[in-house]
Amino acid sequence: MSSLGADLWRRALRVMPGGVNSPVRSFRSVDSTPFFVGRGEGPFLCDTDGRRYVDYVLSWGPLILGHAPPPVVEAVRLQLERGTSYGAPTEGEVELAERITRLMPAVEMVRLVNSGTEATMSALRVARAATGRDAVLKFSGCYHGHTDAFLVAAGSGVATLGLPDSPGVTRGAASDTMVVPFNDLDAVADALRERGDAVAAVFVEPVAGNAGLIEPLPGFLSGLRELTWRHGALLVFDEVMTGFRVALGGAQARYGVEPDLTTLGKVIGGGLPVGAYGGRRELMERVAPAGPVYQAGTLSGNPLATAAGNAQLAWLEEHDPYAGLEVVARRVALGIATAIRTVGLAAAGTAVGSMMGVFFRGEAPRSFEQAQDSDVRAFRRFHSAMLDRGVFLAPSPFEAGFVSTVHGGAEVDLTLAAAREAAEHVAREMR
C-alpha cells in the first residue's frame, strides 16, 4: 500500500492515540482502517486518493444541508474577514439564541457552549443545583457525551469498543448514575420509587441515535414527563442529535412532550463546533452570571460557529424540509434492509425525520439490549462491501445514519444498487 491515505494513517498512528481524535472514526469496530478526507461536496465525501462516497455519516449529524452548502459557506466567509473570536458579545449569539428559543418553545433561555458533551455536563449541573439532588437516571445505549457521570452504559463508540465503563471514571461518579433500558417505563417507575428523592434528572435521547436508531414507543416520552413530575426530578431531553434533525422543533415538537431542560449541538453549529443547553427561564437564571451555577467558555458563542449555525437554521426554518428528508431516509433504510433480506440474511430498517437505522436482525429493536442482539459479523462485511462500492455508512452497527437535503434520487439509486451487490457479496462470503 503506497496510497496517500495509507501513508497518512501510518503517520497518524505514531502521533495520535489510535490515529484519530475521536474513537468512532478509527473503523476499529468494522475491523478496518479509515480513509482520509480530501473534501466534501454536497452529498459526497472525497478521499485523499480520489475515491468518492455517498456520505450517510455527515460528520455524525451536523451537516443536514450536506457538505459546504452555499448559504453556510457564504456566512462563514463574511464573518472570517471580520475576525474569528472576540471574547466579547456579538449579534450572532443573540440571533442564534433567539432562533433556538423561537423554534423550541420549551427553551426560554439558552447558553451556547462548544460541544454536546459540554452541554449535557452543564445541564446536569443546573439540574443538580435546582433540585439539591445528586443522582441522574439515564438509559442504556443513550450517549450523552464523555463526562464521567454519563460514561455508564453509553452506547455507540463505547459499546462498539467493548468498554461499558471507562477506566478513569471514579466509582463515585458512576454510583450517582442509574441506568435502565430505553422504552421501559416500568423500570423507570421502579427506579424512581426506590431512589426518586435522590434523582436530580432523567436524561434521555428522545429518539435514541447512539444505539442504532431506536424510536420511542408511544407513551414513553409522555410517561417520563409524568413520572419526573411526580418525583420532583427534572426531565432533560438530550437533543444534541435529534434537535433540528427529526423536526424543526426537534423531538419535543415531533412527539409533543416538553422537557425542563434541552441540550443541543450538531445541527445548530452548521458543521462548526457548538453546543447549547437551555430550558425554563427559572432554571436558566441559575446560570452564572445571572445566578450561582458556574459555567464559562473562552470560545463559547464563537462568531464563526454562530454564523454557520444561524445560516443553517435560517435555511431550515424557511424550507421546513423534514417531510421530504424522511421520505429519502425511509427509502434508503428500508431499501438497504430489503436488499439484505433478499439474500436470506435478517435485516430491519427504520427512519425518523432525517435519521435512519439498519439492523442485522429480524425486527427493529426497542432497546439497546435488543439492538446488541444483531449479526455484527454480517454488518462488518456489509459495511466494507458498501465502502468498496462508493457508499459510506457509519462504521459501527450501533450508529444512526443521516441524510441531507442534497441526497437526491440519483444518490439513493446508487446506494440501493450498491446495497444489492454488497448483500450478495456478503452472502457469498458467509456461505
Ligand X SMILES: *Cc1c(COP(=O)(O)O)cnc(C)c1O
CA 96 to chain centre: 20
Of 82-90, 192-200, 237-245, 327-335, the window that binds ligand X (rule: CB under 6 A) is: 237-245
Nearer to ligand X, 55 or 205 (CB): 205
When binding is defined by CB under 6 A, the residue of 122, 183, 210, 367 that contacts ligand X is: 210
Compute the least distance from the CB of residue 372 to ligand X, in Å: 18
How many whole angstroms separate alpha carbon 69 and alpha carbon 110?
Answer: 26
179 residue type, one letter: V
Largest CA distance in the chain: 65
Compute the least distance from the CB of residue 305 to ligand X, in Å: 12
Of 101-109, 165-173, 238-246, 345-353, the window that binds ligand X (rule: CB under 6 A) is: 238-246
The dihedral over CA atoms of 378, 379, 382, 383, expressed in degrees to the nearest 10, equals -150
Please, which of residues 248-277 interact with ligand X by CB under 6 A?
265, 275
Determine whether 266 is an active site residue. yes
241 makes contact with ligand X (CB under 6 A): yes
When binding is defined by CB under 6 A, the residue of 145, 216, 243, 270 that contacts ligand X is: 145
Compute the least distance from the CB of residue 142 to ligand X, in Å: 7
Contact between 404 and 411 under an 8 Å Cβ cutoff? The reply is: no
312 makes contact with ligand X (CB under 6 A): no
Q: What are phi and psi of 280, to 5 degrees?
A: -60, 140
Determine whether 322 is an active site residue. no
Compute the least distance from the CB of residue 394 to ligand X, in Å: 12
Marked catalytic residue, from 53, 56, 143, 255: 143
The CA-CA-CA angle for residues 230, 231, 234, to 5°, reads 100
238 makes contact with ligand X (CB under 6 A): yes
116 makes contact with ligand X (CB under 6 A): yes
Contact between 365 and 357 under an 8 Å Cβ cutoff? The reply is: no
Q: Following DSSP, what letter does each residue of 375-394 receive, concatenated?
A: -HHHHHHHHHHHHHTTEE--
240 makes contact with ligand X (CB under 6 A): yes
Compute the least distance from the CB of residue 90 to ligand X, in Å: 21
How many whole angstroms separate alpha carbon 245 and alpha carbon 321?
Answer: 10
Marked catalytic residue, from 238, 260, 277, 322: 238
Scan for cell 451537516, then name that residue: 63
Contact between 313 and 104 under an 8 Å Cβ cutoff? The reply is: no
How many whole angstroms separate alpha carbon 287 and alpha carbon 276?
Answer: 13
The catalytic residue positions are: 143, 238, 266
**Residues binding ligand X (CB under 6 A):** 115-117, 120, 143-145, 205, 209-210, 238, 240-241, 265, 275
